Amino acid sequence: MPDIVFIKLFSTLKRFARGGKTQFTLDWHPGMQARDILDTLKIPGTTERVILVNGRYSEPEKQIAANDTIVLFPPMTGG
Amino acid sequence: MYGWRGKLLRVNLSTGEIAVAPLDPKVAKDYIGGRGLGIYLMNKEMDACCDPFSPENMLIMATGPLTGTKAPTGARYMVMTKSPLTGAITCSNAGGKFPAAFKQTGFDAVIFTGKSEKPVFLVMENETARLEPADHLWGKTTHETTDALLTQIHGNAKVACIGPAGENRVLFASIMNDKDRAAGRSGVGAVMGSKNLKAVVVNGNLPVTLADEEGFKAVTKKFSDTFRKAAKENPPALRLHGTAVTVMATQNYGVLPTKNWQQGSFDNWEKIHGETLTKKYLVSNSACFSCPIGCGRKTKVDEPGFEGQGEGPEYETVYAMGSNCMIDNLAAVTKANYLCNEYGMDTITMGATIACAMELYDLGLLTKERVGRTLEWGDAQALVELTRLTALRQGFGETLAQGSFRLAEQFGRPELSMVSKKQEFPGYDPRGSQGMGLAYATSPIGGSHMRGDPAYFELLGVPKVIDRLEWKGKANLVKRWQDFFCVIDAAGLCVFYSVRNLSNLELEILPTGILELINAATGAAYSLEELALAGERISNAERQFLVRAGFDRKDDSLPPRMTKEPLPDGSAKGSVCHLEEMLDDYYVLRGWSDNGIPGPEKLAELGLA
């Protein structure tokens, strides 16, 4: 079994779903960064998104470990 | 004057006397309008120690220079008075269509003093106003009242009014405008009820004149074009799913208040999420005057027992009445929201007070006999029933109508009330969002996310992210954002648009876009420094009122659950809020004493000495 990472897409970023799924896994590889996941999902650099890795806000350069959970959603706040 | 109308309406409800007073151009420039104008008048004319329900308390409805203009989101007004919930000031802000229509009557603000012997409502028309009897409206809901007044007053009238909760002086009663938009917090509706003032009807058609019509049009177009272009690439999540979409973010950060803030995440969060609301109950979105976002939710619920139609719920309602009460029934939350709108009550304090009661019940301190029913966590029926009883002050509702602090105090456990200055928190746990804790504690109205909202830079990366669990350096950012929010509120704009589209988008935030709009509108030739300083002046003027009312450092507090009990779950597990450390920094940066009193040098710098 290859190592994997868990991906969850929310709100407007659901449009980058894979095979109709907004929660799925991707294969992990050594040296993997959050940026690689954005590239794999074809999320353009101009798309506003918040990247959470295991609940912590992260930049695209964030190193991803096997079994990490990566959550992607657009910036918003409530009133 | 341009932008401003230059006229204040004064209504003495004790004598029935109505007078028009000029707005001093220097006061207008120094305090901008809205929230700034309100605190200027309260400091000048009112005893800060007065009983909030006494005739001496002022009730001020104030617009800003951009309210009712075509500035994006120029739709807001502010209700200011001394709060019966907190004893501090209120800054209850609302949008919709009423504020822009208010401006078209030719007044910047209306100032109520005194108390009418009998129920009345005020009609404001083109530079005139009159009081009319409201006996026939007393006891009616906000929707019934609005419908009745729109039948009675012809023209293009808009209505702000109270419902039975305001008449009954529920300490967190709201003033509703356009039926479902709320000046929601701190009990402004209870003060209105104490004055026997049922409604304000605005019915004017005087367009707002601007100093530089062409220049203003060009600036507005620039911002609108930029927003439209960005929205194509990044559809605004608030438009698609409303503010309740925030549930997903706070859940993932582990700061979604759950079980009266005993947890930071809720297993059934997807059932109360904004996307679920869209799927199950959304009829259409709605927008305030001149708003390109349209975050409002027109909804309809058909589930038996919870049937209804109206607006909402917003994120804060979903947290307070949903996860915080362990209720995953979105139909019930939406129904309770409808009831709050119709009776005229704040959904945050209502939900948080019921959550507090549920914890007291769980601990065996509150009995079935006392409540008149069982009150287990997650009881959706109880939420709806107790909301109704609270508005009418019937049965256990009489106790709930005092808010969570007085409830918990009555049962010997005030620390179970999740408040600052006796006002309930919005839905972001400060243990996982340190700056938010400082913002709650130092907000002039008590627990609030709308007096400077660190969630932007702690949770959402706007304009960029700062470690949410780090407390060092937060005092400076909280101060800067609080002062920036003062400018937004005083100008008559909406926070949602202004933060991302009318600022310099730096952590040390400045009102660059507001400057362009306000100068074109008013011709007041503000420099950026002057406009930013006006925000700081408003913050300090508000603090002066609080100090006179007896507030100091002891009141800039959080309950021990936030500062001593580590979050037990979620991605901020193990964290507490470092309030005292941040407060020390904050007072120094503010130029206040270590007891939180503005110092003479700071007051002199701001012209407040």
Kindly state whether residues B289 and B392 are assigned to the same domain. Answer: yes
Alpha carbon separation from B153 to B41, B96, B158, B511 (Å, rounded): 30, 19, 9, 39
Q: With an 8 Å Cβ cutoff, are A75 and B246 in contact? A: no
pLDDT tens-place string over residues B352-408: 999 999 999 999 999 999 999 999 999 999 999 999 999 999 999 999 999 999 999
Determine the Cα–Cα distance for residues B565 and B548; give it in Å rounded to an integer: 33
Distance from CA of A68 to the nearest CA of B (A): 13
Write the CB contacts of A71 (distance below 8 Å, at least 6 apart in sequence). A8, A10, A51, A52, A55, B252
Kindly state whether residues B406 and B442 are assigned to the same domain. Answer: no
Banded model confidence at residue A77, pLDDT cuts 50, 70, 90: low
Distance from CA of B145 to the nearest CA of A (A): 26
Kindly state whether residues B400 and B465 are assigned to the same domain. Answer: no
Picking from B331, B63, B86, the residue whose alpha carbon sits closest to that of residue B200 is B63
Distance from CA of A56 to the nearest CA of B (A): 7
Best to test chain A binding among B238, B347, B425 (most A CBs inside 10 Å): B238
Write b or e for each residue in B476-491: b if 16 or more Cβ atoms lie within 10 A of its Cβ, otherwise e. bbbbbbbbbbbbbbbb
Q: With an 8 Å Cβ cutoff, are A47 and B234 in contact? A: yes
Q: With an 8 Å Cβ cutoff, are A79 and B462 in contact? A: no
pLDDT score of A2 = 84
B310 domain residue, yes or no: yes
pLDDT tens-place string over residues B265-279: 999 999 999 999 999
pLDDT tens-place string over residues B556-576: 999 999 999 999 999 999 999
Determine the Cα–Cα distance for residues B589 and B377; give it in Å rounded to an integer: 43
Torsion angle in degrees (nearest 10) through CA of B376, B377, B381, B387: 100
The answer to whether residues B97 and B289 touch, using CB atoms and an 8 Å cutoff, is yes
pLDDT score of B251 = 95
Kindly state whether residues B419 and B439 are assigned to the same domain. Answer: no
Q: DSSP string spanning B411-447? A: TT-GGGS-EETTEE--S--GGG-HHHHHHHHH-TTSS
Kindly state whether residues B163 and B252 are assigned to the same domain. Answer: no
Q: Give me the domains of chain A, ranges plus CATH numbers.
A: 4-73 (3.10.20.30)
Neighbours of B207 (CB within 10 A): 10
B228 domain residue, yes or no: no
Q: With an 8 Å Cβ cutoff, are B462 and A75 in contact? A: yes
Asked if A48 reaches chain B (Cβ–Cβ under 8 Å), the answer is yes
Neighbours of A27 (CB within 10 A): 11
Residue B420 has pLDDT above 60, yes or no: yes
Asked if B249 reaches chain A (Cβ–Cβ under 8 Å), the answer is yes
Q: Which residues on A lie below 8 Å from B312 (Cβ)?
A: none
- Number of inter-chain CB pairs under 8 A, A vs B: 89
Helix, strand, coil: what percent of chain B each, to 5?
45, 15, 40
Asked if B234 reaches chain A (Cβ–Cβ under 8 Å), the answer is yes
Cα distance from N-terminal residue to C-terminal residue, chain B:
27
Which domain covers residue B380, as residue numbers? 238-423
Determine the Cα–Cα distance for residues B585 and B235; give it in Å rounded to an integer: 39
ipTM: 0.89
Please state, for a pLDDT cut of 90, what percent of chain B lies above it: 96
pLDDT score of A79 = 46
Instruction: Indicate the pairing of strand B175-177 with strand B158-161.
Output: antiparallel
pLDDT tens-place string over residues B192-233: 999 999 999 999 999 999 999 999 999 999 999 999 998 888
Determine the Cα–Cα distance for residues B71 and B16; give it in Å rounded to an integer: 36
Q: Which two tokens stand for residue B128?
A: 């005139």
Kindly state whether residues B408 and B445 are assigned to the same domain. Answer: no
**pTM, full prediction:** 0.97
Q: Which two tokens stand for residue B27?
A: 């006061």
Which three-class secondary structure state does DSSP give residue B274? helix
The answer to whether residues B199 and B122 touch, using CB atoms and an 8 Å cutoff, is yes
Q: With an 8 Å Cβ cutoff, are B238 and A12 in contact? A: no
Q: Which residues on B lie below 8 Å from A7 (Cβ)?
A: none
B231 domain residue, yes or no: no
Banded model confidence at residue B461, pLDDT cuts 50, 70, 90: confident
| Dihedral sign (CA B63, B68, B74, B76) | positive
Kindly state whether residues B405 and B443 are assigned to the same domain. Answer: no
Name the A residues in 7-46 with CB < 8 Å from any B CB: 8, 10-12, 44, 46
Longest dimension (CA), chain A: 45
B216 domain residue, yes or no: no
Q: What is the number of domains present in chain B?
A: 3
